[in-house]
Structure 1
Amino acid sequence: MQRRRFLGLTAAGAATAALAPALTACGSDATGGDKTIRLIAADYGDKPTNSSKKYWDSLAREFESKNKGIKVNVSVLSWTEVDKKVAELVAAGKAPDLAQIGAYADFAAVGKLYSAEQLLSIPTQADFISSIAKAGEVHRVQYGLPFVSSTRLLFCNQKLFDKAGIAKAPDTWAELQAAAAKLKAAGVKMPYGLPLGPEEAPAETMMWMLSGGGSYTNNIGVYTIDSPENIKTFEWLRDEFVGKGLTGSGDPARTNRQEVFDAFTRGEVGMLNGHPTLMQQADAKGIKYTMVPLPGASGKARATMGVADWMMGFKQNGHREEIGKFLDFVYSKENVLDFTGQYDLLPVTTPASVAMAQDDQHKQLRPFIKELPNAEFYPADKTSWAKVSKSIKEKIGSTVQKGGDPAAVLGEIQREAMATENAGR
């Protein structure tokens, strides 16, 4: 997941700046070979009062009290810089012992990471939800340990639906188009929010590909970006959705996800694809909404998009045993629930997922949890994905503009993807 922040929210800049100096010793010899492990983690809070640092500091102290002799030093950075900082430290020969960030494949490809089997106890490994664990594999060996996850649903503004006389949320593209047309006729500013701008174009793109029966790759991991299904999907979007003014007056190619989320919380958007964080934002603004599975070309989409953020253990400092003990603690049911519950994210382990689904305190998350076992994830195991994602951000929006050529654009991205993939072999 190449990104700014995918599941999390950007942390306050002041908090990040205060933590930055703690990173300078990562991977150094200052500890003299002791049993201190260093973790760099992403911040899922949007202000100092809900910063993830509080969680990690508390967890580290509890772990230390139960594992005498092992120390855990934690640095928490915003999503805008944490991936870049870890990459810089690894390149400088100062890798942390653990990193909880957005992507793992580049590090795994050059032999920097321990495998899951080398770190985790068998029960901890077995607890991972299989579809998410598989997304952490490179050549069938798991190096990326999922930390938190999310799925996507279609959000519908209930007040605007009532105003437009729409009785039920759409299940198909035809129903989606009809609902958007009614919303437009009722004066809704943005009947459907289509963020194909650079912030999160790869996510919106994948959701539409899945709803049209395609995806970024096939079932053996080969890129299929310009498949007939994907081309047909973007032709439909161009002609039947954007072309008919059902996405508002703005250009989807220049529309970012957070802009659409913000507009939804102002009551200006009828429908959009969203993740659990949008619930918090909408609830805070008093927006009444319903959530349903993504509509498909002729019925419910065969799958929704899943997103995972990753934990990984670096070999450089030789703390395999200490890292493994800490991770077994991190992935206990109670600790997984503690973190995911704070930020309305989904657990990546079966015991925690079952417990959350049964807890009425988290009943709003049940529709997202239900979609998780069959969710499809970015091809994060590919070292080529970073460049492919960048290309999608730059080009995909043009497919839905007037005169856009989905076949040509998707074909160009496909050729670039295959060239990058082959160059890395």
Structure 2
Amino acid sequence: MHRAARTASVAIALATAFAVTACGSSAGDEVAADKKQTLTVWAMGAEGEKLAEVAEQYKKANPNITVKVTPVGWDVAHQKLVSAAAAGKLPDVAQMGGSYLGEFTELGVLEPVDTKTFDKKDFFPAGWQQGEVDGTSYGVPWYVDTRVLYYRTDLAKKAGVDKPPADWKGLRDMASALRDKGDSKWGIYLQPRGLDTVQSFYPFLYSAGGEIVDKDGKAAFDSPATVKALKEYGAYMKDGLSTKSSQPGYDPLKDFNTGDVPMFFSGPWISTLIKDQYPGLKGKWGIAPVPADKTSTSMAGGSSLVISKDSPHKAAAKEFIQYLTDAKGQADWFERTSDLPANTKAWESGELADNPDLQVFKKQMETAKTSPALAKWTEVTSKVDAAIESVTQGKASAEDAAEKAQSEIENLVK
């Protein structure tokens, strides 16, 4: 789920607009699922392009339903959704990630999920939780992702390391060995500063047992677990095992190819990129679960599918989402996109069951933790980004950085 900027002026405009437009459709206005109709769907990025193919396939089996898919670039997705919501013109179905859900549910424009149709037991827990706000589900998980450790097996062997690290000490030792004996410039890449540094920090925070906001919605960033994670993360820069500076949007793959960066954390799409862009690395790299502190816990990402509260096509929308999120539809979507299925039954056969690398992601997803769906989550994580940067740049101790961020986050979630 990509991140988008939000402003107070947008919030004010929305509040004004919704006072006039957000009234919801009545049951009498709704069209039965078997009637001839056009279903409007917005999907983002590559998913938007691929979904049009699925829509054509769906129409062959459901000739009364025309699914009109509009691909939307991630760079304009948030503003486009905001504008549509304010005008009362959201599509019947939209792709939405956790960082958007809190905002749009607060505005009252999303239809709650029919939990008699969609069973949370069919999905990874973290995938389902991404669509929940205050105990009510608004999004059905469409695909998931999580972060695991990518490492150069050939350089590890050269450095005298024969297996991936299982815990924090093992990770630090392996990073040192790769730098000192594996001819690598760095031991690992961890984002040191800038927008979304929190994405790189999550595996440390969650594995230590820390969190940014607790289950009751209260700031929890100054806990001993968080301080421990900040110290561990910052130590990689302090000890010269990871760079203290990188350009915005830096992609470690080129340096992974040269060996300058022999380890980094990332998601499932990287496996495809390595195979496609760097075929010379075949047999020279591997993936492993997040090294554990208290636990091995990574972040959960991905997207859900939501239905507009004002849609007159809710019944047809629900059936289309069923088609996309049952085990068969999820397996088909994986074949088309390599997006990891949110429905766990899709992992029981084929490549998803047999590929050991994919099984690493499955294992990691089973314990992954999702961020809470809060309207101001982007602002909250910007405070965390600043705290991490102050530690990695040696400007503040972990204790002081956590305390400062805690105070700022409290003001945002109270």
TM-score normalised by length of structure 1: 0.81
What whole-Å deviation, never above 9, does each CA across 1:257-307 have from its counterpart, x for those lacking one?
64223322333212111211111222231322122221234x7x3422211
1:318 aligns with 2:312: yes
Matches within 5 A, 1:165-176: 165-176=160-171
Matches within 5 A, 1:243-322: 243-248=238-243, 250-251=244-245, 254=246, 258-284=250-276, 285=278, 286-287=280-281, 288-297=284-293, 301-322=295-316
Contact 1:104 1:312 in 2 (8 A): no
Contact 2:50 2:336 in 1 (8 A): no
What whole-Å deviation, never above 9, does each CA across 1:353-397 have from its counterpart, x for those lacking one?
32356543x442111011212211122x21121211233334422
Alignment partners' CA distance in 1, 2:260 and 2:333: 32
Q: Which residue of 1 aligns with 2:8?
A: none
Q: Which residue of 1 aligns with 2:20?
A: none
**AA aligned opposite 2:41:** L
Alignment partners' CA distance in 1, 2:121 and 2:404: 40
Q: Which piece of structure 1 moves more, 388-397 or 156-165?
A: 388-397
What whole-Å deviation, never above 9, does each CA across 1:53-78 have from its counterpart, x for those lacking one?
45322222232233343221111122
Matches within 5 A, 1:147-186: 147-186=142-181
Three-state SS of the structure 2 residue aligned to 1:376 is coil
For the structure 1 residues 58 and 233, does the alpha-carbon distance in structure 2 shift closer, same or farther, using more than 3 Å as the test?
closer
Q: CA deviation at 1:410?
A: 2.3
Contact 1:82 1:101 in 2 (8 A): no
**AA aligned opposite 1:317:** S
Alignment partners' CA distance in 2, 1:330 and 1:401: 45
Alignment partners' CA distance in 1, 2:367 and 2:411: 30
Q: Which residue of 2 aligns with 1:391?
A: 383
Three-state SS of the structure 1 residue aligned to 2:145 is strand
Q: Which residue of 1 aligns with 2:113?
A: 116
Q: Which residue of 2 aligns with 1:29?
A: none
What whole-Å deviation, never above 9, does each CA across 1:212-234 have from its counterpart, x for those lacking one?
23122335453312211111221
**AA aligned opposite 1:303:** T
Matches within 5 A, 1:132-143: 132-143=127-138
Three-state SS of the structure 2 residue aligned to 1:147 is strand
What whole-Å deviation, never above 9, does each CA across 1:116-163 have from its counterpart, x for those lacking one?
11xx75256553333321231111110022211012211111122122
Alignment partners' CA distance in 2, 1:311 and 1:38: 13
Alignment partners' CA distance in 1, 2:63 and 2:344: 29
Counterpart pick for 1:419 among 408, 411, 414: 411
Alignment partners' CA distance in 2, 1:151 and 1:223: 24
Q: Which residue of 2 aligns with 1:78?
A: 73
Contact 2:201 2:233 in 1 (8 A): no
Q: Which residue of 2 aligns with 1:7?
A: none
Counterpart pick for 1:237 among 224, 233, 240: 233
Q: CA deviation at 1:96?
A: 1.2
Q: Which residue of 2 aligns with 1:343?
A: 337
Alignment partners' CA distance in 2, 1:319 and 1:264: 48
Q: CA deviation at 1:2?
A: 5.2
Q: Which piece of structure 1 moves more, 141-150 or 204-213?
A: 204-213
Unaligned runs of 5+ in 2: 5-30
Q: CA deviation at 1:91?
A: 2.0
Q: CA deviation at 1:256?
A: 5.1
Percent same amino acid at aligned positions? 23
Unaligned runs of 5+ in 1: 5-32, 45-51
Give RMSD over aligned pairs.
2.6
Q: Which residue of 1 aligns with 2:201?
A: 205
Q: Which residue of 1 aligns with 2:346?
A: 352
1:407 aligns with 2:407: no
Alignment partners' CA distance in 1, 2:306 and 2:252: 32
1:94 aligns with 2:89: yes
Contact 1:215 1:224 in 2 (8 A): yes
Three-state SS of the structure 2 residue aligned to 1:337 is helix
**AA aligned opposite 2:323:** F
Alignment partners' CA distance in 2, 1:182 and 1:65: 57
Contact 1:399 1:405 in 2 (8 A): yes
Alignment partners' CA distance in 2, 1:337 and 1:196: 37
Three-state SS of the structure 2 residue aligned to 1:146 is strand
**AA aligned opposite 2:110:** L
Q: Which residue of 2 aligns with 1:378?
A: 371
What whole-Å deviation, never above 9, does each CA across 1:11-44 have from its counterpart, x for those lacking one?
xxxxxxxxxxxxxxxxxxxxxx983221110123
**AA aligned opposite 2:348:** V
For the structure 1 residues 217 and 302, does the alpha-carbon distance in structure 2 shift closer, same or farther, using more than 3 Å as the test?
farther
What whole-Å deviation, never above 9, does each CA across 1:161-184 have from its counterpart, x for those lacking one?
122222322222222222222222
What whole-Å deviation, never above 9, does each CA across 1:76-101 have from its counterpart, x for those lacking one?
12222223322222123221111113
Q: Which residue of 2 aligns with 1:39?
A: 41
**AA aligned opposite 2:218:** V
Contact 1:105 1:144 in 2 (8 A): no
**AA aligned opposite 2:83:** E
Three-state SS of the structure 1 residue aligned to 2:187 is strand
Contact 1:196 1:393 in 2 (8 A): no
Three-state SS of the structure 2 residue aligned to 1:116 is coil
TM-score normalised by length of structure 2: 0.83
1:330 aligns with 2:324: yes
For the structure 1 residues 124 and 59, does the alpha-carbon distance in structure 2 shift closer, same or farther, using more than 3 Å as the test?
farther
For the structure 1 residues 213 and 65, does the alpha-carbon distance in structure 2 shift closer, same or farther, using more than 3 Å as the test?
same
